[in-house]
Chains A and B, each alone.
Chain A
Amino acid sequence: SYVVTQPPSVSVAPGQTARITCGGNNIGSKSVHWYQQKSGQAPVLVVYDDSDRPSGIPERFSGSNSGNTATLTINRVEAGDEADYYCQVWDSSSEHWVFGGGTKLTVL
């Protein structure tokens, strides 16, 4: 089955840019979705279809996807962005949804 890989942790200072990657074989050919999950809360969709933002999600959140890597970029990081972030793709060969293992974003 399809595997997506995320770094376990990313740290960034407030005001800087955070980049969280999601790696997979030719992931650029798939649509990637990103979720933010703060401690003790349900996940929230922050980017869908590689680079679209749901209403209410700040423009600071953006996504890209090419080759073997999809990236969630958070500009001007704030303390409130500290959370776990998960990427998600549909594996058509197995007809399964696949989540990455998650990346813990720490705001220093």
Chain B
Amino acid sequence: EVQLVESGGGLVKPGGSLRLSCAASGFMFSSYNMNWVRQAPGKGLEWVSSISSSSSYIYFADSVKGRFTISRDNAKNLLFLQMNSLRAEDTAVYYCARFLSRTTMVSSFDYWGQGTLVTVSS
């Protein structure tokens, strides 16, 4: 069974940093491209970042580019999101999600974790 479990969320002050993790199981993690998607309280889904299976290709939303870093550890089946210079508007539930296709990053997201809440407030 495919499982994605996020962790690392919490309360952080504006300007602070946080590192989110996503533990993957039930599939060959190293073969799949992955994503982070967030959802502010009461709002819609917002794509944050994508990373290819080998980390060769990385994309970021304009809203987080230069502040967030995505990475992965294929040996440990882990996906990361390093968030720096956090702002109040980064407050959201952060989901990791798997691309359906193993061969392209232009594909739907077929499995999602349950999310981890990040709150940026003084």
Residues of A in contact with B (beta carbons under 8 Å apart)? 1, 31, 33, 35, 37, 41-45, 48-49, 54, 84, 86, 88, 90, 92, 95-102
Contact partners of B107 in chain A: CB under 8 A: 48
Q: A45 contacts B47, CB within 8 Å? A: no
Contact partners of B106 in chain A: CB under 8 A: 31, 90, 92
Contact partners of B44 in chain A: CB under 8 A: 84, 86, 99-102
Contact partners of A37 in chain B: CB under 8 A: 45
Q: A95 contacts B47, CB within 8 Å? A: no
- Scan residues 35-59 of chain B and give those whose CB is less than 8 A from a CB of chain A: 35, 37, 44-47, 50, 59
Q: A102 contacts B45, CB within 8 Å? A: yes
Q: A45 contacts B108, CB within 8 Å? A: yes
With beta carbons under 8 angstroms apart, the residue of A90, A96, A100 that contacts B61 is A96
Interface flag for B95 (CB, 8 Å)? yes
B47 to chain A minimum Cβ distance, whole angstroms, is: 4
Chain A to chain B contacts (Cβ below 8 Å), 25 pairs: A1-B62, A31-B106, A33-B109, A35-B45, A35-B109, A41-B114, A42-B95, A43-B37, A43-B95, A43-B97, A43-B109, A43-B112, A45-B100, A45-B108, A45-B110, A48-B108, A54-B110, A88-B108, A90-B106, A92-B106, A95-B59, A96-B61, A97-B59, A100-B44, A101-B44
Q: How far is the CA of A45 from the CA of B35 in the complex (A)?
A: 14
Given A86-B45, A90-B106; A42-B50 close (CB under 8 Å): no
Given A31-B106, A42-B95, A54-B110; A98-B47 close (CB under 8 Å): yes
Residues of B in contact with A (beta carbons under 8 Å apart)? 35, 37, 44-47, 50, 59, 61-62, 95, 97, 100, 106-110, 112-115
Contact partners of A88 in chain B: CB under 8 A: 45, 47, 108-109
B118 to chain A minimum Cβ distance, whole angstroms, is: 16
Contact partners of A43 in chain B: CB under 8 A: 37, 45, 95, 97, 109, 112
Contact partners of A49 in chain B: CB under 8 A: 108
Q: B95 contacts A99, CB within 8 Å? A: no
Q: B47 contacts A96, CB within 8 Å? A: yes
Contact partners of A1 in chain B: CB under 8 A: 62
Q: A42 contacts B45, CB within 8 Å? A: no
